[in-house]
Amino acid sequence: MPLVGPGHTSETTAQLQYEQDIYDKQHSETPLDSTDDITTDMENKARISGGNGNDGSDNGKPETPQQQRPGFRERIKNMVKDAFPEAITDVKIMGGMAALESRVAREMQDPKLFPEIERVAHVRRGVELCPEELTFLDRRKVRARDNLARYLGLQPEDVDPRDVPTVAFGGSGGGFRAMIGCLGYCRQMQHAGLWDCLTYVSGVSGSCWSLAAYYTFGHTSFDRVIDHCKQRFSPHHPLSGEAIRTILSSPGGARITLGPLIQKSKSGLQTVAMDLYAVFTTGWIFFQNDPATHPGRNIHGDRVAGYQRSWYRYSTAREYTDSGAEPMPIMTAIRHERPWKDWKDKEHPFDCANHAEGDHKEADEAWFQWYEMSPYEIGCDEVEAWVPTWGFGRPFKEGKSTMQLPEQSLALLLGLCTSAPAGPLTSYISTISRNLPTNFLGNSIHALANRIAKFWGKQGTEEFQEHHPLHACNEHNFMYHYTHVEPGQGRPPGLENSPRIHLIDSGMDNNCPTYVLLHPGRQADIIINMDASSDVQKDTFPERVDQIGSRRGLKFKKRHDIKPGEDPKDPNRFNGLYAQIYDGIPCERPATVVDSYGRNVTNPPAPVHERECKMIYMPLLPNAKAVPDFDPSTAKFSGSYNLVWTAEQIETLVKVCVQNFEDGQDVIKDTMRSAWLWKRDERLGRGTNGPTMPQESALSNVAVQNYAPPIAQVSTGAAQLAGTNGDATGEQMSGSGVEPRWNTAVGATIAPQTTL
C-alpha cells in the first residue's frame, strides 16, 4: 500500500521513495492469501492458526455461530499454537492482556499510584498566568541572573534579577527531523550555557517529542536523549511488528501502553486510530529496554531498567520546574473553531473531520485556537479557560470534573501534539501480521486493534478502518456546560454545548510555537525559533511569523535582508542566515491576516502582547563546515515522515545543528546583552540619550550600534503612533518612524560580498 498521501506534499520524490522502501522492507513477507481489508485478513489468519476453536483444519464442516464468533479471551487462547517459535512469549503477552482491563480498572482507583484521583479538578477562567507559573517565574529569574552573567561574561553583582530578559526557545514541527534537530540545538545550548538562561521552551509536533523525552527519561540531559535515540530509532519502525511485540512483551509493557486506552474508554470516550498511533509510537520512542535482550523473559519486572509502575505523566516535569531549575516546557495543539451550524452532531464538529484532506481550508470565518500544555495547566488563552494538567482527560460539567480519573498519559497528550504520521494507521497495523510468520503475534496485533475498536463502538471501528490518523482524537471538553442554566432555560450553542473537543497537530496552522510564547503574561523579550520545516530555504518564515504576530498585535520586521549564495558548492553560502533577527514592534491588530493557506481572512481573536519582542530565527540549513554535501531538508532519510533513522544519520544531523548554533551564537549574545541593558535602563527610568554599547560581534565584526532606551509603553493604540489605521503593512511600518526601542549589532553574520 503506497504511503504517499495529502500530508506528504512537502517531501521530495527521493524522500518518498526512501520511506516506501523502508515500509516495503519491514512488511515484505506478505502471505499470498492476505487482503487489504483488516477485518477479513484478521479473520482468515485467525482461522489458519486455530481461531475457530479447532486445529486449524475445518475438514469441510461449516462453522457454528459459536465457532464463528468465540469470546475475546477464548479466541486469544485458541490463536496460540505451541508449534510457533515465539509462542512462549506470545502466551505471556496475551496472558497478561486477559486480565489487563480489570487490573487497569483497579489501579485507576488506587490513590497511592495516582494521588490526583482524590482531588476534583476545577476550571480556571482568565488570561492571567496560573499561580504555579508565577511562582516558577520568580524562582527562575533568580537562577537565571547568575546564568546570564556567566553566559555574557558579566559579574553577577552587576545584574539585577529584575533586568534579566525573558528568553524563550521554540522548536518547530517536522517529524523525527524536527525532534533530532531540536535535540541537537538544545544540546549545544546546554553545553554553551544558554539553556540555563531560558525561561520557556516550547514545541510544535516533532519538537514536542524532544521536550517530553528531556523532562522524563532524559532526566534533563540532552546527551542522554540523543544517545537513546541512536539506539532506538533503527532498525524497526515504531509500528512494526517487532517494535510492538517488544513493547508488549516487556515487564508492564502492555499495561503502560494500553492502560491509557482502557482508561479513556472507561471515561466514556471512543478510541480512534490516532490513539493507537500515539501509544505505540511514543511507547517505542520512550522504550528504555534493549530489544536485543528480549525483555520480559525470565526477568522480574522491578529489576529491569526502565520499569515503571505507571505510564509517563507530564505533570512530573514539575520536579525540575517548581524550583526554577529548568525552563518551563510548553507543548502545543490546536482546535478548529468553526461556526456551530456546520456541526454534524453534539460530539463531532465536522461531518468528516479529515484534516489531511484539507477540509479546514473551505470553512468560512474559521480559525485555529491554540491550546497549550505545561506541567501545570492545559488550556487556551483565547477561550480564557484552563484545567490542571492532572485533570485533563476527565469529564467536566459546570466547571468541575465529574469523574476523578488518573492523569492522562503523556503518550496520549503527545498523540494530540504530533498527529502527523506517515500514512494511514490501518496500512501499518494491517501489514504487521504479514511481517511475521503466521503465528500468534502476527494475528494478535490485528486482533487487538480491531477488537479494541469494535469493543469500544461502531464509530471507532469506522474511524480506525477508513480515516487518516489526522482525524482528531476525542477528548472531554472541560468547558462543557460551564455556565449554570436554570431548569427550562435554553443553552446557547457553542463550545459549552459540546461534550467533546478535538485537538490536532498545531503545525496545521503554524509550524513554530510563537503563539504560546507571546502570551501577554509571559512578557517574552526574546524568542529563539529553531525551524526544521522542509521549506526553510524558501523564505516562508516572514509570512508565518507575521501571521501570528498580527494576532498578538506585533509587527515583525526582518532586520537584514541577506540572501544565500548562488553557488551550491560554496561552503559559506549560508553565512549570515544561521541566526536572523526580527524586530517585533507593538501595533494595532490588523483587521485581516493571510492565513497558512494563503487566504485573506478575518484576524482571529487573541490577547495582545503589548511589549516589544525580538525574534532570533535559526533555520536548519546545510552547513558544509560540519557535514559537506548534506541538506537536512532534502536528504532522502530526513523526510518529515521517516520514522527510521540510523545512529549515523542521527549523528549527521546533530553535527549540523551544533555547527549552526555555533555560527549564530554571537548574534544571540549580542541580542541578550542589548535586552539586559534595555531592561536595566527601563527600570532605572533613564532618558532617551542612553549609553552606547561598544560590543562587537566576532562574526560580523561590526560595532554594536547605540540603542534608544524605551519610550512610553506602547499598547493597542500603537497604530496611532505608527500612523496606521489597523491594517499595518511592511511598507507602512517602515515609513512610520516607529523603530525598535532596543537594538543590537547588525545582528547577523555578514556574508562575503560574492554571496549576497
Residue 258 shares a structural domain with residue 230:
no
User: Please, are residues 454 and 62 in contact by the beta-carbon 8 Å criterion?
Assistant: no
* CA–CA distance, 562 with 748 (Å, rounded to integer): 9
pLDDT bracket for residue 354 (50, 70, 90): very low
Residue 45 counted as domain residue: yes
- Residue 365 confidence (pLDDT): 67
Region of residue 494 (left: phi > 0; alpha: psi -120 to 50; beta: else): left
Cell matching residue 555: 509587527
- Give CA–CA dist 523/546, Å, rounded: 18
DSSP string computed for 378-399: EEETTTTEEEEGGGTTS-EETT
Angle formed at CA 553 by CA 551 and CA 558, multiple of 5 degrees: 95
Over residues 389-412, the mean pLDDT reads 97
Q: So what's the pLDDT on residue 288? A: 87
pLDDT (tens digit per residue) in 515-552: 999 999 999 999 999 999 999 998 889 999 999 999 99
Among 52-56, 109-113, 194-198, 705-709, the minimum mean pLDDT is found in 705-709
3-state secondary structure of 327: coil
Predicted confidence band of residue 732 (pLDDT cuts 50, 70, 90): very low
- 3 state SS of 705: coil
In 3D space, the residue among 120, 104, 110 whose CA is nearest the CA of residue 261 turns out to be 104
Strands 526-531, 328-337: pairing kind = unpaired
Biggest alpha carbon–alpha carbon distance for the chain: 98
Same domain, 524 and 616: yes
**Spatial CA neighbour of 446 closest among 274, 245, 254:** 245
Mean pLDDT, residues 418-430: 53
Q: Are residues 229 and 283 in the same domain?
A: no
Residue pair 479/492 in contact by the 8 Å Cβ criterion:
no
pLDDT band for position 598 (cuts 50, 70, 90)? confident
| Domain co-membership, 540 together with 669 | yes
662 and 744 assigned to the same domain: yes
Mean pLDDT on 91-102: 66
d(CA 205, CA 226) in angstroms, rounded, equals 18
Residue 91 resides in a domain: yes
- How remote is the C-alpha of 167 from its chain's centroid? 20
Angle (CA) 445 446 450, round 5°: 115
Angle (CA) 199 205 209, round 5°? 70
Instruction: Indicate the DSSP class of residue 408.
Output: P
Short-list 574, 611, 493, CA closest to 751: 574
Digit-coded pLDDT (tens) for 638-653: 998 899 999 999 999 9
Residues 231 and 285 in one domain: no
Radius of gyration for the chain, computed over Cα atoms and rounded to the nearest angstrom: 27
| Bridge partners for 167 per DSSP | 198, 526
Q: Which residue has the higher pLDDT, 559 or 490?
A: 559
**Phi and psi at residue 387, to the nearest 5°:** -130, 155
If asked whether residues 42 and 56 sit together in one domain, one would say: yes
Peptide bond into 691 cis (omega under 30): no
9-31 pLDDT, tens per residue?
567 888 888 888 887 776 554 33
Tally of structural domains, the chain: 2
Q: Is residue 97 part of a domain?
A: yes
Number of H helices, E strands in the chain: 23, 18
pTM of the model: 0.79
Sign of the CA dihedral running 632, 544, 202, 507: negative
What's the mean pLDDT in 576-600? 91
Which stretch of 131-140, 275-284, 441-450, 481-490 has the lowest confidence by average pLDDT? 441-450
Task: Assess if residue 483 is contained within a domain.
Answer: no
Distance CA 83, CA 85 (A): 6
DSSP 468-529: -TTSPPPEE-TTTT-S---TT----SSGGG-SEE-EE-GGGT-SSTHHHHT-GGG--SEEEE
Residues 680, 643 share a domain:
yes
Residues 230 and 248 in one domain: no
**Is 532 contained in some domain?**
yes
Task: Kindly state whether residues 231 and 242 are assigned to the same domain.
Answer: no
Residues 231 and 251 in one domain: no
Give the rounded percent of residues in the chain with a pLDDT score beyond 90: 50
CA dist., res. 415 & res. 276, Å (int): 9
- Same domain membership, residue 660 and residue 746: yes
Domain range for residue 306?
Answer: 31-60+68-109+236-311+426-453
Reported as a single tens digit per residue, the pLDDT across 624-677 is 999 999 999 999 999 988 999 999 999 999 999 999 999 999 999 999 999 999
Average pLDDT over residues 564-592: 94
The residue behind cell 473531520 is 353
432, 185 Cβ separation under 8 angstroms:
no
pLDDT tens-digit series, residues 256-300: 988 998 899 899 988 777 888 899 899 999 998 765 544 333 333
Residue given cell 516607529 in the structure block: 738
List alpha helices for 171-221, DSSP H: 175-192, 206-214
Predicted pLDDT of residue 310: 79
Q: SS3 for 241?
A: helix
Contact 427/273 with Cβ under 8 angstroms?
no
> Do the domain assignments include residue 15?
no
Which one, of 710, 590, 636, 242, lies nearest residue 441 by Cα? Answer: 242
98 part of a folded domain: yes
Q: Where is average pLDDT lowest: 309-318, 334-343, 456-465, 691-700? A: 691-700
Q: Kindly state the DSSP code that residue 407 receives in the 8-state scheme.
A: P
**Whether the predicted pLDDT of 181 surpasses 50:** yes
